[in-house]
Structure 1
Amino acid sequence: MKKNQDNFFRDISDILTQARNRAGKAVNLVMVYSYFEVGKRIAEEEQNGEARAQYGTRLIQELSNYLTNHIGPGFSITNLKQMRQFYFTYAQDQIGQTLSDQFKNLPAVSTGRKFVLSWSHYLKLMRIDDVNERHFYEIEAARNNWSLREMNRQYDSGLYERLALSRDKKGIRRLSEKGQLIEKASDAVKDPYVLEFLGLEEKSSYSESDLEMHLIDNLQNFLLELGTGYTFVARQKRFTFHEDHFRVDLVFYNRLMQCFVLFDLKIGKLKHQDLGQMQMYVNYYDRYEKQDYENPTIGVLLCQDKDDAMVDLTLPKDSNIYASKYQLYLPDKEQLKKKMEQWTKELEGDENE
C-alpha cells in the first residue's frame, strides 16, 4: 500500500514538474517572438523617422525610459538594441524545413521564420557571423534540447568545423540545412574528440584506467561530446571466448544507428596490434551480441596519437573500425576556421578540375 502511494505521489509530482517546465518554455518563447516584433517596430520607426544618425539613439533612449516607467525593468538601451539586432539578423533568415517540420505547432513570424530556443540562446547565436554555422547550432540545440551552457561548450569545442572538415562540399551544406545526420557509421564518429571537461593536463602522467575513470565521472559531458543518439551500456565489459577473458573499456549503443559502439582507450601512439584487438572485439559483438535487426558494431580506438597511413594499411576498406585522437583542451576556433576555409577551397578546386 505504501509503495503504491509513493508511486502515486511521484506520478503527480512528475505531471506538475513537466507542466511547469512546459509553461516556462512557453513563456520564454512568447518573449522571443515579442522581442522580434519589438525589434521590427524599432527598425521601421527609425527608417521612417528623421534622416539623422542621432535619431535612432534618441528613439531607443526615450523608448527605454517609457517602457521602464510603464512596464518595469528589463528594457535598457542595451536590451532594446539587442532586440533590433535580433530582427535584423533573422528578418531575411530562413533555415529551411528542418525546424518547421520538427515544431509544426509553433507559429511563424511574417517572414515565415520560427523560433524554438530561449532568448539567451539567440543572444549567443546572433554573435556567430557565419550564417551556415549559426543555422547548424540552432538546429542542433533544438534537436538535442541543449541548455545554453551545453550549446556554448559545443561552439567553443568547434563542433561545426570538426564535422565539416570530415565532409565533402555537399555534406558541409547539409550541416547548415539539417544539422548532424547519423546515416552511416562514420557519421557517428568524430576525429578528434575534445575532452577538456576531464580536467586532465596535457603533460600530466595518467594511465588508461585514469582516463576511463574520468570519462565515467564526467559521463554526461562525454555523451554530449559523443553526439546524437548515444546511450551508455557498460564499462570494462567482460566476455569469454575459448576460456580466454577479454574486457572492452567502454560500450555504448547508438539508437539512431541501432548498433553497439565499442571504445578502447589508448595512451600514447596507436599500434597496429591495437587495431587487431579492436577487430576481434567488433567481430565478437557482431556474432554473439548483435541481434538480427541491428546494424554492424562500430569500434573506436581513442588515442593520443596515431599514424593515419598505418591505420589505412592495417584495416580493410570496408572496416567498421575508426581511430580517433582525443585532446584535453579546447581547440583554437580561428585555426579551425582557417583549416575549414582551406578545405573548402580544395573541394572547390577538385570540382573545377
Structure 2
Amino acid sequence: MTTLVPAPDGSYASLLSELKERIRAARLKAAVAVNRELILLYWSIGRDILARQTAEGWGARVIDRLAADLRRDFPEMTGLSPRNLKYMRAFAEAFPDEEVVQQLVAHLPWGHNVKLIEAVKSPEERLWYARQAVEHGWSRNILVHQIESGLHRRQGKALTNFARTLPALQSELAQELIKDPYSFDFLALGPAMSERELEQGLLEHLRSLILELGKGFAFVGSQYHLEVGGQDYYLDLLFYHLRLRCFVVVELKIEDFKPEFAGKMNFYLSAVDDQLRHNSDAPSIGIILCKGKNEVVVEYALRDSTKPMGVAEYRLSAALPAALQAALPTEAEFAREFPLMALVKLRMEVEREIRLLVADQTEAERPLALGPMLTELQGLGLTPQTADRFRNALQTMNRAAHGLDVAAADAAEATEIASVFLAELRVIRDRRSS
C-alpha cells in the first residue's frame, strides 16, 4: 500500500514553518542551559579551590596538579587546563555571591566572564558591564570595546533639561541613554575637519555610530529636509528611538557649545513635533554634540528651553600618554630630519580644499588625482589666479610625496607658490559659503 505525501499547500507550509521555529527555539534554550550549567560548574570549582587554598594554605602549584588529574579522568572535556582553572578561581573571587552568578553572569558565555575578570577591577563596574552585556546581547568584541571606551563613566552623564521637560519615567530613561563624552575613535579625522566631514565620517561608519549611541536608535536620515514658512532647513542626523518612542535630532558642532545652539535646536524640535511626530509618539528629543562645553553656559542655555535636549562632547581619539608624547620628536625636529615633509603636508591641504570646493558643486563621483581635480575646478569657474604657477610647482610636490630627491631651492619655491594657492582656495570657499 502506497502512502501519499501531502502536497506542500499553505497548511503544510505553515506547519513546517512552525516546527522549524520551535526546533530553533528549543536548540537555543538547550544551548543557553548548557552554558549556564557550565558557568555554574566553573564557579563552583573556582570557589572550592579558593576556599581550600585559603583554609589549608595550598600554593599555586596545586592547580597544575588538579588540572593534570582532572584531564586524565575527563579526557573528552575541554577547559580543564591550569590556565582555565586559575580563571575559575579568579571568577569565584570576583563574583562571591552565588545568587548574582545564577541570575546574571551565568547567562554570559565563559569568554565574556574572562574579559570581565581581566579588564575590570572595580566590583561595581564589573556588575554594571555584566548587566549591560546581558541586556543588550553584546558579543565579546563589543564588550571589550565598551570597557576600553569607558562606557560606565560616560553613560547618563550629559547635561540635559529632561527632568523639567519630560514626564518622570521618560526623563529617567532618556537621561540614562545619553553619554558624555561620545567616543568617535573609529573616525580618522584631524583637528582641521569641517562639520560636513564629521557628518560624512559618521555616516560612513553608521554601524559603529549606532553602537556608540546605544540600543534602540533607528537611523532615519542625514541632512533631513524640513520646510518651515517656505524656507528650507536640514537636520544633521535624525533618529527614532524604539524604547523612548520618539524622534531624536542630533546636531554636530566642531566648536565649543554656544547658547545659540540651544535656540536652533529648540526650533528644530518644534518643527519635528509638528511635521513628523505621531499622536502616540513622545516629545522629540535633541542632542547637541560639541567639541567642548562650559557647563555653566550650558546650564543657562537649557534653563528656560521648552524642548527636551541635552549637550554632550565627542572625542575622536584618546590622547597619547605623557610618556609617549615625551618620546615623540617635536615638529621642529621632524622638519630638520625630513625637510620635504612640510611640502608633502601642504600638498595634502591643497587637495583637501579642492575636494571641498568640488563637492559643493555636484554629486558626481570625484576624481582621485590632483591634476584632474584642478581641471574640474577650472570647468566650474573656480580657478585661483595662481593656478598655472601651482601646476608647475605640482611636479616638485609630487616628487617629494614619492620620496624622490628635490633640490632645496625647488622645494622652497614650490612651498611659496602652494601656500599662496592654498590661501586663494580658502578665500573662494569662504566667499561661496557666506
Residue number in structure 2 paired with 1:32: 39
**Mapping for residues 71-150 of structure 1, pairs under 5 Å:** 71-72=74-75, 73-92=78-97, 95=100, 115-127=106-118, 128-150=120-142
Helix, strand or coil at the partner of 2:108: coil
Distance in 1, matches of 2:156 and 2:250, equals 23
Residue number in structure 2 paired with 1:235: 222
Is contact 1:182-1:257 (8 Å) kept? no
Residue of 260, 272, 291 corresponding to 2:278: 291
Letter in 2 for 1:36: W
Q: 1:164 to 1:300 in 2, by over 3 A?
A: closer
Residue number in structure 1 paired with 2:365: none
CA drift of 1:223 comes to 1.7
Letter in 1 for 2:131: I
Q: 1:166 to 1:267 in 2, by over 3 A?
A: closer
CA drift of 1:57 comes to 2.1
**Mapping for residues 182-201 of structure 1, pairs under 5 Å:** 183-198=172-187, 200-201=188-189
Distance in 1, matches of 2:205 and 2:127, equals 28
Helix, strand or coil at the partner of 2:106: coil
Stretch deviating more after TM superposition (222-231 or 278-287):
222-231
Q: 1:298 to 1:11 in 2, by over 3 A?
A: same
CA drift of 1:216 comes to 1.9
Distance in 1, matches of 2:309 and 2:156, equals 20
Distance in 2, matches of 1:120 and 1:146, equals 12
Name which structure has the greater RCO, CA cutoff 8 Å, separation 6+: 1
Higher radius of gyration, 1 or 2: 2
Helix, strand or coil at the partner of 2:254: strand
1:61 aligns with 2:64: yes
CA drift of 1:267 comes to 1.7
RMSD: 3.5
Residue number in structure 1 paired with 2:295: 308
The number of residue pairs the alignment matches comes to 299
Alpha-carbon displacement from aligned partner over 1:203-262 (angstroms, at most 9, x marks no partner): 3x3222222222122222222211232222222211112221111111111222221110
Residue of 212, 217, 236 corresponding to 1:249: 236
Stretch deviating more after TM superposition (258-267 or 66-75):
66-75
Alpha-carbon displacement from aligned partner over 1:4-52 (angstroms, at most 9, x marks no partner): 9xx999999877766665554443333212211222333354466xx44
Distance in 2, matches of 1:39 and 1:69, equals 19
Helix, strand or coil at the partner of 1:300: strand
Residue number in structure 2 paired with 1:98: none
CA drift of 1:120 comes to 1.0
Alpha-carbon displacement from aligned partner over 1:124-168 (angstroms, at most 9, x marks no partner): 22232221111111111100111111111111111112237569x
**Mapping for residues 7-26 of structure 1, pairs under 5 Å:** 22-26=29-33
Helix, strand or coil at the partner of 1:115: helix
Is contact 2:32-2:107 (8 Å) kept? no
Stretch deviating more after TM superposition (255-264 or 39-48):
39-48
Stretch deviating more after TM superposition (324-333 or 123-132):
324-333
Q: Which runs of 5+ in 2 are unaligned?
A: 1-9, 160-169, 322-434
1:207 aligns with 2:199: no
Q: 1:93 to 1:210 in 2, by over 3 A?
A: farther
Helix, strand or coil at the partner of 2:253: strand
Is contact 2:52-2:58 (8 Å) kept? no
Letter in 2 for 1:142: V
TM-score between the two structures when normalised by the length of structure 1: 0.72
